[in-house]
C-alpha cells in the first residue's frame, strides 16, 4: 500500500515516485480532508486545496495506479467531504483521465456522506443522536442543524461495500474517518481489521510519520496477515520506532484506543521493531467490536460576514492595561455599530492559542492582536472592524506618556474583509440504522473519453 501525501494536493517529490515504481503496488490510499481548518470549507463548499495542486497529484497517482493495476481510494474529498467537494474531485479525476487519452475502461465508485435534513430530523425523532462528539460541544439543536450543511464521518463499511460490489479502479469518497481510507481496501483483501486500521492510522498523513517528517511526501506499507512493515518512499527519510509510535498515538485522549464507527483499535499490546535503517515492523494490533455503531455528524452553518485587523504592540503600559482597554473597545463597537456584532480578540504572546486553558501567564515584551468582527452584512462587519481598529489605536489610559498610536500594523490596508463566516453547528454522535444509512454510492464508468453515470447505485 502506498500513501503519497498527507492530503491530496500537498504534493510529493519525484525521487519518491522513482522508489514507489520499484514495487508492485496494490493499493494507493490518500486522505483529502480534515476538520482542522475549521467550518468554512464544509459550509461554503470551497476546496481546501486549489484545483491545480489536486490535478497535479491526481495525474501522478493515476499514472502509477494504471501502470501497477492498483486501486486508488480517496477519502474526505475536497477537504470537508460534502457533495460539492466529491463532485469537484470526481470532475478533476475525469479530466486527468481524459488528458491521458485512455482507451481502457476505468470504473469509479463515488461515495457520498451528506446527511439530508429529513434524515437528521428522523435521527432526532428516534433518539438516535446520542450526544456531543467531544467535550464542550453544545447539545444538538435541530433548528441550527436545518440551517447547516451536514456530513457523516463514515467508517470503513461504505468504502468496503463499493469495493466488494463493483471492484472499482478508483474510489472518490466523501467524509470518512482518515484510517478508513486505507483500512477498507485492506479488509476487502482479507486483512485482519485491527492490522488494517493501524496501517491506516500510520499511513493517513503520509511521511509525517517519518523522520524527518513531511506532509508532502509518502510512505509504503507491506502488509501481511498479522503484521506489517512501513518505510518512507523518500531515501532521505527514515521510519524509526519512535517516529511510528508517535504517529500511532497522536490525536486522542487515550493513547491505546483509536475509535472508529463500530468499535476501536486496541494499541495496548502493539510492538514496534526496527527492521532495518528505514523500516519498522508493527505487530499486535487488535480490533474490538462494540454493540453501538456510532458515527460522528459534522455540520457547518453561515453566521454572517467577517472582517479582521492584525496589529502588534510593545508598549509595556499598554500591555499591562490590555484587558480593560479591549473591554472598553468592544463596548464602543457595540455602542456605535450594534449589540449584535460578534467581536473577538486573540492576544498572541499571551493566550491566543489556549485561551483560558493556558497555564503560562507570563507575557512577552511584545504582543500580536488579531481582532475579528462578525456581522449580519458585509458593510457592518467592515464598519465594526474600522471602529475597533481606530478606537484601540488611539485609546488612552491613566499615566500614558505619549499620544502616538498604540498599534503597529504589518499590512496595508489594515482592515481586511474576509467574507462569509461559518460556525460548527453540528458536532454530535449518531446511531444510524445500518453502517450504510448515512452514505449513498454511485458507479461512474469512463470509456475512451465518454462518461456514463449511474451505472450502479445504492
The interaxial angle of helices 378-394 and 322-336, nearest 10 deg, is: 140
Taking residues 251-261, what's their average pLDDT?
89
Q: What is the pLDDT of residue 233?
A: 97
Q: Give yes or no: residues 314 and 247 share one domain.
A: no
- Rounded to an integer, what is the distance from CA 89 to the centroid of its chain? 15
pTM of this prediction? 0.95
Q: Give yes or no: residues 290 and 345 share one domain.
A: no
pLDDT over threshold 90, residue 137? no
- Percent of all residues in the chain with a pLDDT value above 70, rounded to a whole number: 100
- Burial class of residue 418, CB neighbours in 10 A (0-12, 13-18, 19+): middle
With respect to residue 143, please indicate whether it lies within any of the assigned structural domains.
no
With respect to residue 132, please indicate whether it lies within any of the assigned structural domains.
no
Q: Are strands 27-31 and 71-75 parallel, antiparallel or unpaired?
A: parallel
Q: Give yes or no: residues 391 and 262 share one domain.
A: no
Q: What is the pLDDT of residue 252?
A: 80
Tell me how far apart the terminal alpha carbons of the chain are, to the nearest angstrom. 28
Q: Give yes or no: residues 173 and 250 share one domain.
A: yes
Residue numbers of the domain that contains 373:
303-423
Residues 150, 113 contacting (CB under 8 angstroms): no
Taking residues 80-85, what's their average pLDDT?
98
pLDDT band with cut points at 50, 70 and 90 for residue 454: very high
b or e along 104-136 (b: 16 or more beta carbons within 10 Å of the residue's beta carbon)?
A: eebbbbbbbbbbeeebbeebbeeebbeeebeee
With respect to residue 327, please indicate whether it lies within any of the assigned structural domains.
yes
Q: Which of 141, 129, 173 is nearest to 154 (CA)?
A: 173
Q: Give yes or no: residues 257 and 171 share one domain.
A: yes
pLDDT over threshold 90, residue 402? no
Q: Give yes or no: residues 367 and 253 share one domain.
A: no
Q: What angle do CA 210, 213, 216 make, to 5 degrees?
A: 110
- Rounded to an integer, what is the distance from CA 11 to the centroid of its chain? 16
With respect to residue 146, please indicate whether it lies within any of the assigned structural domains.
no
Q: Give yes or no: residues 275 and 330 share one domain.
A: no
- Rounded to an integer, what is the distance from CA 150 to the centroid of its chain? 15
Q: Give yes or no: residues 358 and 453 share one domain.
A: no
Q: Which of 188, 183, 430 is nearest to 287 (CA)?
A: 183
pLDDT over threshold 90, residue 361? no
Q: Give yes or no: residues 49 and 186 share one domain.
A: yes
Q: How far is it, in rounded angstroms, from Cα 75 to Cα 341?
A: 37
- Burial class of residue 362, CB neighbours in 10 A (0-12, 13-18, 19+): exposed
With respect to residue 135, please indicate whether it lies within any of the assigned structural domains.
no
Looking up cell 512501513, which residue turns up?
Answer: 230
Q: If you ran DSSP here, which 8-state letter would residue 167 be given?
A: -
Amino acid at each position: 500500500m502506498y500513501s503519497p501525501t498527507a492530503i491530496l494536493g500537498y504534493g510529493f517529490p519525484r525521487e519518491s515516485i522513482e522508489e514507489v515504481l520499484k514495487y508492485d503496488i496494490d493499493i494507493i490510499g490518500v486522505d483529502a480532508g480534515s476538520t482542522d481548518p475549521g467550518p468554512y470549507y464544509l459550509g461554503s463548499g470551497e476546496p481546501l486545496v486549489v484545483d491545480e495542486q489536486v490535478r497535479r497529484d491526481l495525474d501522478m497517482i493515476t499514472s502509477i495506479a494504471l501502470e501497477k493495476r492498483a486501486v486508488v481510494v480517496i477519502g474526505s474529498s475536497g477537504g470537508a467531504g460534502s457533495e460539492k467537494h466529491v463532485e469537484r474531485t470526481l470532475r478533476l479525476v475525469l479530466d486527468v483521465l481524459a488528458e491521458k487519452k485512455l482507451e481502457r475502461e476505468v470504473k469509479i465508485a463515488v461515495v457520498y456522506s451528506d446527511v439530508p435534513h429529513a434524515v437528521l430530523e428522523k435521527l432526532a425523532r428516534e433518539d438516535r443522536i446520542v450526544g456531543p462528539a467531544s467535550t464542550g460541544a453544545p447539545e444538538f439543536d435541530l433548528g441550527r442543524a436545518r440551517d447547516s450543511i451536514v456530513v457523516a464521518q463514515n467508517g470503513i463499511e461504505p468504502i468496503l461495500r463499493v469495493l466488494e460490489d463493483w471492484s472499482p479502479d478508483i474510489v472518490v469518497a466523501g467524509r470518512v474517518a482518515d484510517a478508513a481510507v486505507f483500512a477498507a481496501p485492506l479488509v476487502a483483501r482479507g486483512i485482519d481489521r485491527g492490522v488494517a486500521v493501524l496501517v491506516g492510522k500510520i499511513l493517513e498523513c503520509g511521511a509525517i510519520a517519518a523522520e524527518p517528517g513531511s506532509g508532502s511526501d509518502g510512505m509504503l506499507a507491506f502488509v501481511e496477515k498479522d503484521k506489517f512493515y512501513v518505510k518512507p518512499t523518500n531515501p532521505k527519510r527514515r521510519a524509526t520506532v519512535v517516529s511510528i509510535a508517535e504517529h500511532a498515538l497522536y490525536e486522542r485522549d487515550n493513547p491505546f484506543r483509536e475509535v472508529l464507527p463500530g468499535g476501536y483499535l486496541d494499541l495496548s499490546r502493539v510492538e514496534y521493531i526496527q527492521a532495518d535503517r528505514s523500516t519498522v515492523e508493527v505487530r499486535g494490533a487488535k480490533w474490538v467490536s462494540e454493540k453501538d455503531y456510532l458515527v460522528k455528524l459534522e455540520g457547518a452553518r453561515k453566521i454572517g460576514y467577517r472582517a479582521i485587523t492584525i496589529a502588534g504592540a510593545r508598549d509595556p503600559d499598554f500591555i499591562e492595561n490590555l484587558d480593560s482597554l479591549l473591554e472598553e473597545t468592544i463596548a464602543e463597537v457595540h455602542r456605535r455599530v450594534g449589540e449584535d456584532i460578534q467581536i473577538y480578540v486573540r492576544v498572541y504572546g499571551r493566550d491566543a492559542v489556549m485561551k483560558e486553558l493556558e497555564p503560562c501567564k507570563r507575557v512577552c515584551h511584545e504582543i500580536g492582536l488579531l481582532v475579528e468582527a462578525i456581522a449580519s452584512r458585509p458593510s457592518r462587519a467592515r464598519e465594526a472592524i474600522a471602529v475597533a481598529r481606530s478606537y484601540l489605536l488611539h485609546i488612552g489610559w491613566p499615566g500614558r506618556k505619549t499620544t502616538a498610536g498604540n498599534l503597529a500594523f504589518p499590512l496595508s490596508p489594515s482592515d481586511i474583509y474576509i467574507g462569509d463566516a461559518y460556525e460548527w453547528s453540528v458536532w454530535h454522535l449518531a446511531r444510524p440504522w445500518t453502517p450504510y444509512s448515512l452514505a449513498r454510492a454511485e458507479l461512474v464508468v469512463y470509456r475512451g473519453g465518454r462518461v456514463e453515470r449511474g451505472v450502479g447505485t445504492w
